[in-house]
Amino acid sequence: MTKNISKIGLAVLISGRGSNLQSLIDACASDDFPAEIKLVICNIPGVYGIERAEKAGIPVAVIPHKEFPSRETFEQAMLDEIAKYPVDLVCQAGFMRIVTPTFIEPWRGRLINIHPSLLPKFKGLHTHERAIEAGETEAGCTIHYVNEGVDEGEIILQKSVPILPGDTPDALAARVLEKEHIAYPEAVQILAKNILEKQ
Ligand code: GRF
């Protein structure tokens, strides 16, 4: 017998291979996970994440940012696409664009991102390399709300891993990525329960 629980709708924003998208697809496949992906938006044509969404039967909108005259017009195109679906939460998952208030304002408090460091440490790019160079003994990932600062919004959840002697950025990235794939569904589950309780 399938349990009939309510689910929130997700829009997932990607730019690349989409392994975090996959972790959400896999989590959403479970009857008792309180979310389902209504839409995937990708700003880079041809990347593997698009295939992952198509294989899962999820609508994909490829919206190449390069075809727009400004960040704002690109973001408006994403907003218009999202408005076509019953979306409660927008998840940036390896989405490599900085968003402006045009996109943030309508989704404030319902727009989240995954970042591969233990924020507030190592905002921005090349996090693993920088963590190793800084002599850190611990790295990890953070799920946080998106606000106007880059990687600065309120933290929802973090998971850490050790940095081992002789670690390369690639080895550390792979160790962190395993935690990312656990953290993102966990964060969505927490937020979905909050959203459903308020409905
Ligand atoms: C992840 O490490 C994510 O934290 C970072 O970019 C990577 C995207 O990987 N922002 P994927 O596309 O989800 O596989």
Residues 81-108: tens digit of each pLDDT? 999 999 999 999 999 999 999 999 999 9
The verdict on whether 126 is a catalytic residue reads: no
Residue nearest to ligand 1 atom 10, measured at CA: 94
The pLDDT-based confidence of 199 (bands split at 50, 70, 90) is confident
Per residue in 136-158, pLDDT tens? 999 999 999 999 999 999 999 99
Test site for ligand 1: of 21, 158, 180, 184, most ligand atoms within 8 A of the Cβ? 180
Q: Nearest residue CA, atom 3 of ligand 1? A: 94
* Alpha helices (H) in the chain, listed in sequence order: 19-28, 48-55, 71-82, 101-107, 127-133, 169-198
| Predicted local confidence at residue 30, as pLDDT | 97
Q: Could you give the C-alpha distances from 158 to 46, 48, 124, 143, 147, in angstroms and in order?
A: 31, 26, 16, 6, 18
- Among protein residues, the one whose CA lies closest to atom 2 of ligand 1: 116
- Does the global pTM surpass 0.75? yes
Nearest to 65 by CA among 99, 40, 20: 99
Residue/partner pairs of 53-58 with CB below 8 Å, 24 or more apart? 53/12, 53/14, 53/18, 53/21, 53/25, 56/25, 58/25
Q: What is the 19 CA–ligand 1 centroid distance (Å)? A: 7
The ligand 1 atom at the shortest distance from the C-alpha of residue 19 is 14
Please tell me whether the peptide bond between 165 and the residue prior to it is cis, using omega within 30 degrees of 0.
no
Q: What is the mean pLDDT of residues 156-173?
A: 98
Radius of gyration of the chain (CA): 17
Catalytic residue of the set 115, 128, 144, 181: 115
Q: Tokens 């790019």 appear where? A: 125
Kindly tell me if the per-residue pLDDT of 1 is higher than 60: no
**Sign, Cα dihedral of 86, 88, 94, 100:** positive
Is the model more confident about 4 or about 68?
68
The Å distance, Cα 181 to ligand 1 centre, comes to 10
Choose one of 20, 24, 126 to mutate for the ligand 1 pocket test, by most ligand atoms within 8 angstroms of C-beta: 20
Give residue 76 CA to ligand 1 midpoint distance, Å.
Answer: 24
Which protein residues touch ligand 1 with a CB less than 6 Å away? 16-20, 49, 93-94, 114-116, 177, 180
Tell me the CA–centroid distance for residue 1 and ligand 1, in Å: 36
